Amino acid sequence: MLTRTYNITWEDFPGNRRIISRLTEQTPFLQRGLFFDIETTGFSAEKNALYLIGCCRFTGRSWQITQWLAGNESPEEQRLVLESFLGQLTPGDLLISYNGSTFDLTFLEKKSRQLSIQENLTSFDHVDLYKDLRPLKNFLHLNDLKLKTVERFLGIFREDTYSGGALIPVFKSYARTHTHAEEETLLLHNYEDIQDLLYILPVLAYKNIFLDGQFIINGSLRIDGETPAIQWTLTGDTPLPVSLPRTSLSLAGLCSLKTPLDAVLETRDGQIFLTLPLIREELKYFYPNYQDYYYLPQEDCAIHKSVAAFVDKKFRRKATAKNCYIKKAGEFLPQPGEKISPAFKIHFDDRLNWFEYCAKQNFSEELHACLQAYLRFFVLGSF
């Protein structure tokens, strides 16, 4: 078995090293994480060999990568590789992989049983970056979620030109000849897999902001014109590494207002600009407990029974869910659900609610929840 160790410093990272540095400082799991990746001669742990494992951890000043390469496919060499990796695990480690929950961990567990090696991999917490990025695939306009595809999205390009499958005959040849060129080819592929698990970390900024709501509201800008709107500027804990194309999502199908209603998203210089349409209308607030109200047809509003007792019976009738409302004229912005109260509607059956616009709301928790729902809307396609 061959062991190889390398160190990666901040200076080695590509242009996004500032983002990775901030992610490392602000994301606890990176500081206790053990990145790992395996290479095998096939998908079956029972039939195929485990020939290479690479792992990496943060030492406080740099990242240390260690690789263990088997000399051949014998059980003895596979045992050395696997036991060397397991020996690196310490209590409290967090395993970090790319699609490892589907393949790598399962393969290692089955291979351990085959080789009668005791392991406790299931006792460690595990972050699968592939699963974290899967909801973002369409939003980031990725053709697929292969590691190399994510790398290209971030402007990262490899020296290695092989796929894992293409390396299988290379290893089988290396097991016979042990040439230096084949050794370097095998190690380079695994090294860049591990290295690029670090290099793609900036893409987590999209998950942190759009799905987890880790952003602050810097302020808003009123846009007057044919279609009035309010635009918010949002900044994440870590800036976005790549600007995305301007995107519009129609809200018109969620309500009965017969005018264009679009939420617009733009990203520039690591910041997010979210624009929502502003309407000047008379909207309705529907009381939830309509059984406690009467509807007054002449006034076209509902009043509580305690007050309606003083109204002539011929001018009132029991309220229903659809007519138990009061009206309010003003300027309103659309919201998913009822993040900001009171929530208004145009008609009872509308799926879109509205809140009255007030500049003082710009930094409220309720507005943050509302804007977070919109960011998720752009990623997931629905509220």
Question: Looking at the predicted structure, is the pLDDT value of residue 17 above 70?
Answer: no
Region 2-208: CATH code:
3.30.420.10
Write out the two tokens for 169.
């005959």
Contacts for 121 with CB less than 8 Å, ≥ 6 apart: 95, 105, 108, 109, 112
Convert the pLDDT of each residue in 109-120 to its tens digit. 999 999 999 988
Contacts for 18 with CB less than 8 Å, ≥ 6 apart: none
What pLDDT is recorded for position 51?
97
Q: Of 32, 20, 172, 194, which Cα lies nearest the Cα of 100?
A: 194
Average pLDDT on 330-359 reads 93
Convert the pLDDT of each residue in 21-59 to its tens digit. 666 666 666 678 899 999 999 999 999 999 999 999 988
Question: Looking at the predicted structure, is the pLDDT value of residue 16 above 80?
Answer: no
Contact 239, 19 (CB under 8 A): yes
Convert the pLDDT of each residue in 65-85 to its tens digit. 999 999 999 999 999 999 999
> Looking at the chain, which residues constitute the CATH 3.30.420.10 domain(s)?
2-208
Helix residue spans in the chain (DSSP H): 17-26, 28-31, 75-86, 104-114, 129-133, 147-153, 168-177, 180-199, 204-206, 305-308, 365-380
Q: If you search the block for the tokens 């208004």, which residue do you land on?
A: 344
The model's pTM is 0.86
Distance CA 351, CA 345 (A): 9
What pLDDT is recorded for position 52?
98
Write out the two tokens for 167.
């390396």
* CA geometry: angle 56, 188, 78, nearest 5 deg: 70
Write out the two tokens for 214.
């880790």
